[in-house]
Structures are given as structure tokens and as C-alpha cells.
């Protein structure tokens, strides 16, 4: 399983960790549907 996490700076407004990323933001950054917010940096595990 791949977890993709994203810093709040990518979002139009701050969001809690684990929050789903809005479709428009995902599309803008080429992220998959399961991408979620994380507090630090974009990470692939």
C-alpha cells in the first residue's frame, strides 16, 4: 500500500492530518484519490 501525504501549504486552507485532499488540489499536483494531508513534506512510503 502506498501512502501519499501532503503539507498544508499545498492546500487552499489548513486541514487536519489525515484529511482527504480536495479533488482540485489533487489534480493540480497529480496526486491519487487516496492522498491525505500530513504535517511535514510530501512523502511516499
pTM of the model: 0.44
* pLDDT (tens place) for every residue of the chain, 45 residues total: 455 666 655 555 556 667 777 788 788 878 888 777 765 444 443
Q: How confident is the model at residue 1, as a pLDDT?
A: 45
The full length of the chain comes to 45
Supply the pLDDT for residue 22: 79
Into how many domains does the chain fold?
1
31: phi then psi, degrees, rounded to nearest 5: -95, 150
**Which residue segment(s) compose the domain that 25 sits in?**
4-44
Distance CA 25, CA 34 (A): 12
Amino acid at each position: 500500500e502506498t501512502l501519499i501525504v501532503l503539507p498544508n501549504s499545498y492546500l487552499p486552507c489548513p486541514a487536519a492530518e489525515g484529511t482527504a485532499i480536495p479533488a482540485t488540489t489533487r489534480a493540480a499536483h497529480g496526486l491519487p484519490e487516496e492522498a491525505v494531508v500530513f504535517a511535514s513534506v510530501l512523502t511516499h512510503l
